Amino acid sequence: MSARTGVTILGSTGSIGVSTLDVLQRHADRFRVVAPVSYTHLTLPTSDLV
């Protein structure tokens, strides 16, 4: 089994960031979020990110 690629998402609470998180979640066997970065909307749930 190969290691998953770690991904940093700048602007993870914006529309593009949320879409990116959705794509990464659908490909969780290949990617993992290691650093979601946000300036606003800090109340978004993060329980499923890692």
Tens digit of pLDDT for each residue in 1-50?
579 999 999 988 888 998 999 999 999 999 999 998 888 766 655 555 54
| CA dist., res. 35 & res. 1, Å (int) | 23
* pLDDT confidence of residue 43: 61
DSSP letter for each residue of the chain: -PPPEEEEEETTTSHHHHHHHHHHHHTTTTEEEEEEE-SS-TTS--TT--
